[in-house]
Amino acid sequence: MDRTKKVKRILVTGGAGFLGSHLCKKLLTEGHEVLCVDNFFTGRRQNIHSLLDNKNFELLRHDITFPLYVEVDEIYNLACPASPVHYQFDPVQTTKTSVVGAINMLGLAKRLKIKILQASTSEVYGDPSIHPQTESYWGNVNPIGPRACYDEGKRCAETLFFDYHRQNNVEIKVVRIFNTYGPHMQLNDGRVVSNFIMQALRNDSITIFGDGSQTRSFCYVEDMIDGLHKMMESDKDLTGPVNIGNPTEFTMLELAEKIIKITGSKSQIAFMELPQDDPKQRKPDITIAKKNLGWTPNIDLELGLTRSIEYFEKLIFDKTVKNNSSKINYERV
């Protein structure tokens, strides 16, 4: 910790989620006070269990679709389910979290005259017609499809951020997050890395949608959190949007084969029909992040997957112990 820096009270919405919990830990490590807000739809207490005894950490159960009246110095707005399994479970609530939640958090930032970071997504690009995707690309999104609650919700949130900036002079930071993975993902997360790892660890068939040629770029969570933090600390004139993700591209088939190799799994690969509006390719152009933030990802896929697999193995073991025990009450996974 740099003791010359001002200690800030920082609000992290979605702070008990996958990314939010890692961000809370980083901010605490730097000596800041953290107010973690989560409604626990996808967030879990286990993710922040190690932080609860920290005197600088405060947990508040709250849904940001309702107004929040607190006093803070900065806001990271990460609240929103991010995997299709979760955001399609209640699509209306997903849209409300992105849109109404953004209005509430921007209103708070306006009242307090503080800066606010929006965790947007590469999904704003939809099924892209340019490759790799630059921040100037407007996207190719189906506004009435099954993914629209998330895609269009995040696009509208970006609109609100820039309108609050232009109309009310709110200091904003908008980051477009590309596929991220690592510890604190849920067993039933529904995203491709967690799905493949769980299937491999159980020696089940690894289900690939389509022919396996569609691509994604995978960023390890530690690198992602570093990018979010660098963006928040950047020059006032850098509003974004800024792509944060790993530009190294892999096909779904390559990802499955890597996970089978690392786990030593006996899993076979099974091909299934591609879901509606599923992007065929996804790769960030991170030129702006490199130039303006000095940020590039450092952890390659093999190392990141190894760490993630170790985490999932422990989760499975803990869950098995809990289910087989009649004497000990373990915390819910």
Q: What share of the chain is helix, strand, coil (3-state, %, to 5)?
A: 40, 15, 40
The residue annotated as part of the active site, out of 87, 125, 150, 220, is 150
Q: Name the E strands within 3-111.
A: 9-13, 33-38, 57-61, 74-77
**In whole angstroms, how large is the CA radius of gyration of the chain?**
19
End-to-end CA, the chain: 32
Active site residue 69: no
Mapping DSSP onto H, E and C, the string for 243-298 reads EECCCCEEEHHHHHHHHHHHHCCCCCEEEECCCCCCCCCCCECCHHHHHHHCCCCC
How many CB atoms neighbour CB 301 within 10 A?
20
Closest C-alpha to 59, from 98, 103, 23, 12: 12
In terms of phi and psi (left: phi > 0; alpha: psi -120 to 50; beta: otherwise), the region of 126 is left
Contact, 75 vs 113, CB < 8 A? no
Residue numbers annotated as active site? 150
